[in-house]
Structure 1
Amino acid sequence: MSVSTQGRIAGFVYLGLVVTGIFSLAYAPSQLIAPDDPATTLANMQEQFSLFLAMIAGGVIMAAFFLVLPFTLSRFLSVYGKNAARLMILLVVVSIPVTLLALFQYGELALTIANNTAQVEDVGAARAGYRHWITVSTFFWGAWLAPYGWLVLKSGSIPRWLGAMLLIGSFGYLTELFGPMFIPHFDELPFVDYVTKPASIGEIGSCLWLVVFGARASNSGN
């Protein structure tokens, strides 16, 4: 199988991850979850129960795509750094059970809603548990971009400027995660809303590049 074809396979896996991630982490929560208002959130979940179930299922499918992704990427990137490729795979694999633990919190809530026994307190507990485990997952979602970005920079299989975005984005994820622990009023700083933008550019950009063009066979690209 050619390097270009290997790249396209990785690109379509990445595209599946992006689409399911947007749905389960952004669109569906925006329709269901009212921040700091568990009563309204419960009402939304009861009224749009199918969407709630789809959000959970989408999260599981997202995790499956994420699990497969580093293996498909390493098929053409590992030649440029086997240890970096192994680290990339390890960080993703470790993240999967953590993400599933987060989704399990909503799964339990869905059962109580289906049985008509859900209380407002159940929503608060499920949301707290979900946020805890997703916060842990965020570390891995940011950390894996570092070896991935480094391999892109070294190989040129994907444009190197996207590799730079991935590396900067990895730092941005970790800054967003650990910043509030060490910097007072971190969330009020003017740059906070932008720290993960490079990661989005790098991930979506590399995904689309791989889908359209595949991976380059040499390290001569820029």
Structure 2
Amino acid sequence: MKRTTFPRLEARIAGLLYIAIIILGGWAEVGVRQGLVVIGDPAATARAIMAHESLFRLGFTAEMITNLIAIPVSLILYRLLAPTGRFLALIAVVFDLTQNTINAMNAWTQFAPITLLGGSPDLAAIPHAQLAAMARLALKWHDVGFSVALGFFGVALLIEGWLMIRSGYFPRWLGALYALAGGCYLANNFIFFLAPHLPVDPWIMLPSLIGEGAVSLWLLIVGVDEAKWRQAAVAG
């Protein structure tokens, strides 16, 4: 272990970035996408998007920022949890980066409505009603891609929560909340694809918000017990 390793500082950096992800991602989803979509009316949705085009573009930008800053968060969590179980921590970071990759590749579906509804001469031959329907379909595809990504993220959180419980340098209750968050993401994933009409949304996501919020705040405010972390790192 190198003396230049500063786990508490790294934890606080991860916590700050994690909070930014929660805020930006939540705003992009709830404040932008859900705020502009009119269920069952593609034409009204299209009008709302184009009437608030700048807001819609900001929402897309916020989502891309979350994808970018999620990468260092994943790597820092790997460094913090590796002393407890390097192989499990590696598996977790692979699942985490996989969900981030899926979300990044899925981002085009959020930007597609701007392309379809922006009045491009290349699309002039397509009736506006059809373009509006295609734009709404793109947003539905976004929901599908996001749900697929959440499945991978849920596995990552389950593993990382378990490692926190075992670590000795994170509180056991914090790891339990994080694992619960992962379990809820997985449950939401299966319900989305297998039983979409079950009335569990958004309540099933509440434990995930609590778990991620608790971990991000703990990382930012408290960090990690450096003495116990270094002891575990030397033993590993």
Q: Report if TM-score (shorter chain) is over 0.5.
A: yes
Q: Secondary structure at the match of 1:195?
A: helix
Report the equivalent of 1:16: 20
The alpha-carbon distance between structure 1 residues 159 and 103, as it changes in their structure 2 partners (threshold 3 A), is same
Please list, as runs of the form range in 1=range in 2, the aligned pairs for 1:129-148 lying within 5 A after superposition: 129-148=141-160
2:116 aligns with 112
Separation in 1, partners of 2:170, 2:114: 41
Identity, in percent, stands at 22
Q: What is the RMSD of the two structures over their aligned residues, measured on CA atoms?
A: 2.2
Deviation at residue 213 of structure 1 after TM alignment:
1.4
For residues 97-123 of structure 1, the C-alpha deviation after alignment (integer angstroms, 9 at most, x for no partner) is: 321232101222212333355622222
Q: Distance in 1 between matches of 2:132 and 2:204?
A: 34
CA 1:50–1:180: 2 relative to 1, 3 Å: closer
Distance 1:74 1:135 in 2: 24
Aligned to 1:167: 179
Q: Which runs of 5+ in 1 are unaligned?
A: none
User: Which amino acid in 2 is paired with 1:86?
Assistant: L
Distance 1:23 1:134, change over 3 A: same
The offset of 1:178, in angstroms, is 1.3
| In structure 2, C-alpha distance between the alignment counterparts of 1:39 and 1:101, rounded to whole Å | 26
1:48-197 pair list within 5 angstroms: 48-115=52-119, 119-179=131-191, 187-188=198-199, 193-197=202-206
Q: How high is the TM-score relative to the length of structure 1?
A: 0.87
SS at match of 1:80: coil
**Alpha-carbon distance in structure 2 between the residues aligned to 1:142 and 1:162:** 16
Change (3 A) 1:52 1:195: same
Partner residue of 2:36 out of 32, 35, 47: 32
Q: Which of 188, 198, 219 is the equivalent residue of 1:210?
A: 219
Q: 1:168-212 CA distances to partner (integer Å, 9 max, x unpaired)?
A: 2212221122136556x8613xx6653332221111011011111
Alpha-carbon distance in structure 1 between the residues aligned to 2:106 and 2:39: 18
Number of residue pairs the alignment of both structures matches? 217
Counterpart Cα distance in 2 of 1:87 and 1:170? 14
Segment of structure 1 superposing worse, 211-220 or 8-17? 211-220
Give the alignment's TM-score, normalised by structure 2: 0.83
Separation (CA, whole Å) in 1 of partners of 2:6 and 2:92: 22
Structure 2 spans left out of the alignment, 5+ residues = 232-236
